[in-house]
Homo-oligomer: A and B are copies of this chain.
Amino acid sequence: MSASSPTSALSADDLAALEAVLKALASERRLQILEWLKDPAAHFPPQEHGDPELHGACNLFIVEKLGVSQPAGSRHLKVLVEAGLVIPTRRKSWIYYRRDEAAIARIPELLRSI
């Protein structure tokens, strides 16, 4: 995305890329996940393997806290991963998710050009 100067015109490609990120974000469930992942240790049970600080929260914990079925929860996480907003870490037979703070921090900047 060519977004750097605040008031520049946005190309069609810029708009499409923006739409993709916004679609991933435009879900209360997924916003909630991002919110929880700000502090995994505070929002999820202690994990035996996978440091909450380092690797984030386990798939199952997130799904359970969301209160939806396991496939539904996993799909939300997949959307966030594919949008580049969270980073998955496989460890043993679990998958941990943590925020990609750099990518998330870029979003307000992108929005400044709309």
Contact = CB atoms under 8 A, between A and B. Distances in A.
Interface string A7-45: 101101001101100110111100110110010000000
B28 A25 contact: no
Contact of A111 (B10, B23, B107): B107
Contacts of A9: 35, 38
Interface residues of A, number: 26
Contacts of A38: 7, 9
A19 B9 CA distance: 25
Interface of A: 7, 9-10, 12, 15-16, 18-19, 22-23, 25-28, 31-32, 34-35, 38, 104, 107-109, 111-112, 114
